[in-house]
Amino acid sequence: MADESEETDKLRKIREGDVRTASRLIRNLEDDLPEAKSTIKRIFPHTGRAHVIGITGPPGAGKSTLVDALISSFRKKEKTVGVLAVDPTSPFTGGAILGDRIRMQRHAEDPGVFVRSLATRGALGGLSKAVGDAVHVMDVMGKEIIMVETVGTGQQEVEIINHSHTVIVVLVPGMGDDIQAIKAGIMEIADIFVINKADRDGANQLLSELNAMLNMAPEFPGGWRPPVIRIGNVFDSGPFGESLVELSAAIGDHHRRLMEKDLLGDRMRRKALMEINEALRDAILAPILKELAESGEMDRITGRLLRKESDPYTIAEEVARRFLK
Amino acid sequence: MAKRKIRIMVAKPGLDGHDRGARVLARCFRDAGFEVIYTGCHQSPEQIAAAAIQEDVDLVGLSCLSGAHRTLFPRVIELLREQGADDIVVIGGGIIPDQDFPKLYGAGIKAIFTPGAPLEAIIDWIRTNIKPRK
Ligand SMILES: Nc1nc2c(ncn2[C@@H]2O[C@H](COP(=O)(O)OP(=O)(O)OP(=O)(O)O)[C@@H](O)[C@H]2O)c(=O)[nH]1
Ligand SMILES: [Mg+2]
């Protein structure tokens, strides 16, 4: 257990924006060290100032390229920026290639920008927990804008997006039927739609599909109808720059709307609920699973299930009776 | 408690734009169970050091085919040291003539792997020498 003055020192350094201390803390959070959790307890009261922007969409949609451009546009407005770039862990080896950073390296030396890559690690609820806590760390560092990039292929990423105030869903033309599945999963969470690579065929069709869908929506919370913004080819700086201005304006408008209509309260309640859910899972379920595994009982239970001597529900009830009262 | 993961950054300082080797290496590291951050070509030592600190990696693997390793590799180490990050281990790879080894080791490069080195040797070296820090 770290001593009191060491902890106070750590907290001070993070609040001063010290990258080394902050990135080490994020590392310890990912590795689920108990001492990292106690630091989060201390920084939690100081959180809640940043504007958190979630950016999701299918693989290769151009999310990182867009984040890179948004970093520049926020820096022009003298805002400090944190980026959490999430990439999947290989389920076979437990390793990961975190490649989002390549597109943002030109900002590496800017002290007003802090980019951190995270792997999903595939733990039960673990991804979203580490991301949520990493958002807290960057927030306490004083980053005014925090962007969270995740690959979104449907429902399972929605949870991560719950950490955000403003969710940008990035789509590209010509995705065929995939778009249907993606739309079903992430339609409701988008505050802003971006059609990326709008230089390609099919951009107009995608635009009208999205508009048709939005037209069918019964109502929009707070009266915010998600705008659909077409972003031109990154390699063609004129139109790209213009569409980026439009996107930044939409992000600003959305944030203002959240403030005015007290929609922020709803989002924050949703986030608080999710955080407590995850913390409970950690505090209650994890120790039970650990004990069952270590005592060898999990093997016995699995055996009973395989031999059909019992069923998962009965076993769960037995375990719950024993551990929870 | 989850297992601690080794985090590695693969970076290419200098002007050569051939990053096939670096990409192959990144994939091997992933397959060995490491988390790999790849930063692409044409990186300045300043960019590499800043990224290594932001990512809190255990190890930086520098790959260079252009002959600029003599100045660029030591510079990365110097920058890490200046920023209090000398616990980040730096290794080098690429086309590096034998006579340069002493200078690089002297500058603080912990291991050098030339193109003939089998990938397993690099992974073994990492498993033996790198423990995730606290
Ligand atoms: N034609 C065109 N290509 C683009 C555009 N934006 C990005 N790209 C290219 O699309 C590829 C993928 O871009 P990224 O920004 O890495 O995409 P991503 O969505 O972050 O990818 P993942 O994180 O791997 O899911 C790169 O080769 C980009 O150069 C665009 O507006 N037009
Ligand atoms: Mg990306």
The residue whose CA has the least distance to atom 2 of ligand 1 is A197
pLDDT value, residue A157: 57
Span B7-129 CATH architecture: 3-Layer(aba) Sandwich (3.40)
Cβ–Cβ under 8 Å, residues B26 and A95:
no
To which residue do tokens 């990912």 refer? A30
Q: A with B: how many residue pairs have Cβ under 8 Å apart?
A: 94
pLDDT value, residue A154: 56
Cβ separation of B38 and A101 shorter than 8 Å? yes
pLDDT value, residue A127: 57
Domain positions in chain B are 7-129
Task: List the beta bridge partners of residue A86.
Answer: A118
Model-level pTM? Answer: 0.89
> What is the distance between the alpha carbons of residues A312 and A324, in angstroms, rounded to a whole number?
17
CA dihedral B14, B20, B26, B28 (to 10 degrees): -140
Reported as a single tens digit per residue, the pLDDT across B125-134 is: 999 999 876 6
ipTM of the complex: 0.93
| Most B-contacting residue of A71, A100, A101 (CB-CB within 10 A), to test interface | A101
**Category of A193 on φ-ψ map: left (φ > 0), alpha (ψ -120 to 50) or beta:** beta
Cβ–Cβ under 8 Å, residues A66 and A170:
yes
pLDDT value, residue A271: 77
- Kind and range of the H or E run holding B27: helix B20-31
HSE-up of A109 (CA within 13 Å, CB side)?
Answer: 8
The residue whose CA has the least distance to atom 26 of ligand 1 is A62
Q: Round the average pLDDT of chain B to a whole number and report it.
A: 90
pLDDT value, residue A126: 46
Question: Residue B38 corresponds to which amino acid?
Answer: Y
Greatest alpha-carbon pair distance for chain A in Å reads 69
Q: What does the DSSP assignment read for B60-93? A: EEEEESSSTHHHHHHHHHHHHHHTT-TTSEEEEE
Domain positions in chain A are 48-261, 274-323
Reported as a single tens digit per residue, the pLDDT across B29-44 is: 999 999 999 998 889 9
To which residue do tokens 């990135």 refer? A23
SS (H, E, C) A172-192: CCCCCCHHHHHHHHHHHHCCE
CA of A277 to the centre of ligand 1 (A): 34
Closest by CA position to B110, among listed B80, B65, B84:
B80
CA of A233 to the centre of ligand 1 (A): 10
> What is the distance between the alpha carbons of residues A308 and A306, in angstroms, rounded to a whole number?
5
In this structure, which CATH number among 3.30.160.100, 1.10.10.60, 3.40.50.300, 3.20.20.70 belongs to the domain A48-261? 3.40.50.300
Using 50 as the pLDDT threshold, list the residues of chain A that sit under it.
124-126
pLDDT value, residue B134: 60
Q: Is the CB of A234 under 6 A from ligand 1?
A: yes
> What is the distance between the alpha carbons of residues A234 and A213, in angstroms, rounded to a whole number?
27
Cβ separation of A97 and B26 shorter than 8 Å? yes
To which residue do tokens 């290639």 refer? A97
pLDDT value, residue A17: 95
Residue B122 has pLDDT above 50, yes or no: yes
